[in-house]
Amino acid sequence: MTQARHFLQFSDLSREALTHVFERAAILKRRRDAGELYRPLVGKVMTMIFEKNSTRTRVSFEAGMSQLGGHAMFLDGKSSQIGRGEPVEDTARVLSRMSDIIMIRTFEQATVETLAANSRVPVINGLTNEYHPCQILADVFTYLEQRGSIAGKTVAWIGDGNNMARTWLQAAKVLGFKLKVATPKGYELTVLDGVDYSDCYEAYTDPKLAAKDADLVTTDVFTSMGFEAEAEARRQAFDGFMVDAALMTAARPDALFMHCLPAHRGEEVAAEVIDGPQSVVWDEAENRMHVQKALIEYLLLGQVHD
Ligand code: CP
Ligand code: NVA
């Protein structure tokens, strides 16, 4: 089987590859804004597997493939054989004979790894319980657009030590910034890849300490998909972890606010912050599409320079 490039975790891309993807994302965004057609993927097909809900991930991949001249096909667990127990290895073998690239949103990271191990074509992680690498691509790209290089900066993560937080940590290591994480006790970020993050990571239980002097403050839902049974316990445990205007004053005056969305105003973020002047959440959401187009181009065509 030929070796395809995959994007299963943020750290799958080197700093050099990321620099290229971010440069291409900016170019593809400018072309789209100018109404220019760029269709290098005519005849190419992406299969997208969704075992969890999505708005942004589905639309950004589907729109992005279409803009690149290709096509994206939606499969969910329930209406496909995936939900009836067909082995992921077999699914990978079949999908990768009919399509050129696969995107999957599922529960366990192990499922994504198994899919990739049995696929002839690139596999992209569209979110697992453990990681959300496409979102952090968009977030870092949004930071670059707004403020320039993120190297040497400080990002404050407030809330759950979840898939997003864990992916920010990988980004901090690859791109050379500091990640300060504030979680309640029992919801700390756990490292799953065996990497030593001590040079770029600080853990807190006080959101104000984590947010102090940050260049970017970011948060996410307190209850991620798949953890709904814990929602009430989490609401209590995360009391005091809402990002509000008072917390933002601990950060640098020019700090940005990001949230991957969907958001719950009055829970993890106050309306005054997400709808306020420091928030870049709408650019962040739009940039999913631009950066994923650049990622797809890179995985299928390598480093394009036109
Ligand atoms: N941020 C994000 O991944 O959104 P969706 O769940 O809507 O895809
Ligand atoms: N941490 C959230 C992100 C949603 C885009 C979840 O996994 O549900």
Q: How far does residue 101's CA lie from ligand 2's centre (Å)?
A: 23
**Residue 2, pLDDT score:** 54
Q: Which atom of ligand 1 is nearest to the CA of 105?
A: 8
Q: What is the CATH T-level fold of the domain 15-132+285-301, as seen in this structure?
A: Rossmann fold (3.40.50)
Task: Write the CB contacts of 246 (distance below 8 Å, at least 6 apart in sequence).
Answer: none
Residues in the chain: 306
Give this prediction's pTM: 0.98
List the pLDDT tens digit at each of the 306 positions of the chain: 557 899 999 999 999 999 999 999 999 999 999 999 999 999 999 999 999 999 999 999 999 999 999 999 999 989 999 999 999 999 999 999 999 999 999 999 999 999 999 999 999 999 999 999 999 999 999 999 999 999 999 999 999 999 999 999 999 999 999 999 999 999 999 999 999 999 999 999 999 999 999 999 999 999 999 999 999 999 999 999 999 999 999 999 999 999 999 999 999 999 999 999 999 999 999 999 999 999 999 999 999 998
**Residue 1, pLDDT score:** 53
φ, ψ of residue 246 in degrees (nearest 5): -65, -45
Q: Which residues are catalytic?
A: 105, 132, 135, 220, 260, 288
Select from 51, 163, 166 the residue to mutate for testing ligand 2; criterion: most ligand atoms less than 8 Å from CB.
163
- The ligand minimizing its distance to the Cα of 227 is 2
- The ligand minimizing its distance to the Cα of 58 is 1
Task: Write the CB contacts of 140 (distance below 8 Å, at least 6 apart in sequence).
Answer: 18, 22, 150, 171, 175
Q: Which atom of ligand 1 is nearest to the CA of 285?
A: 1
Tell which CATH architecture fits domain 135-283: 3-Layer(aba) Sandwich (3.40)
**Residue 238, pLDDT score:** 98
Q: Where along the chain do its domains lie?
A: 15-132+285-301, 135-283
